[in-house]
Amino acid sequence: MATKKVKGVAYEVNDEGFLVDPTTWTKEYAVEAAKEEGLEELTETHWKVIDFARQSAATAGGASPTLRTITDGAAITTKDLFALFPKGPAKKVAKIAGLKKPEGCV
Partner 1 sequence: MKTLLVLGAGTAGTMIAKKMASKLDKNQWKVILVDKDTKHYYQPGFLFVPFGKYEEKHVIKNNRQYIPAGIEYVISNIELIEPDANQVRLTLDNRVIKYDYLIVATGCDIHPEETEGLKGEGWRKNIFDFYTYDGAAALRKFLDRWEGGRMVVNVVENPIKCPVAPLEFLFLADWVFTQRGIRNKVELVYATPLPGAFTKPKASAALGALLARKNIQIEADYNIGEVDPVNNVIKSYDEREVPYDLLVSIPTNKGSDLIKRSGMGDALNFIPTDKHTLQSTKWQNVWVTGDATNIPASKAGATIHFQMETVVENMLAHIHGKEMHSKFDGHATCYIETGFNKATLIDFSYDQEPLPGMYPMPLVGPFTLLGESTINHIGKLAFRYLYWDLMMRGIEVPLPSQFSMAGKKK
Secondary structure of residue 2 in the 3-state scheme: strand
Pick from 33, 53, 57, 67: which binds partner 1 (CB under 8 A)?
A: 67
Does 104 help bind partner 1 (rule: CB under 8 A)? Answer: yes
Category of 75 on φ-ψ map: left (φ > 0), alpha (ψ -120 to 50) or beta: left
106 binds partner 1 (CB under 8 A): yes
CA distance linking residue 16 with residue 47, whole number of Å: 23
Instruction: Provide the minimum distance between the beta carbon of 86 and partner 1 in the complex, in angstroms, as a whole number.
Output: 6
105 classed as catalytic: yes
Residues 2, 4: Cα–Cα separation, whole Å: 7
Q: Interface with partner 1 includes 66 (CB under 8 A)?
A: yes
- State the Cα–Cα distance between residues 31 and 39, nearest whole angstrom: 9
Closest C-alpha among 57, 3, 69 to residue 32: 3
Choice from 29, 34, 53, 69 touching partner 1 (CB under 8 A):
69
Cβ proximity to partner 1: between 51 and 86 the closer is 86
- Known catalytic residues are 105
For partner 1, the binding residues (CB under 8 A) are 66-69, 72, 78-79, 82-83, 86-88, 103-106
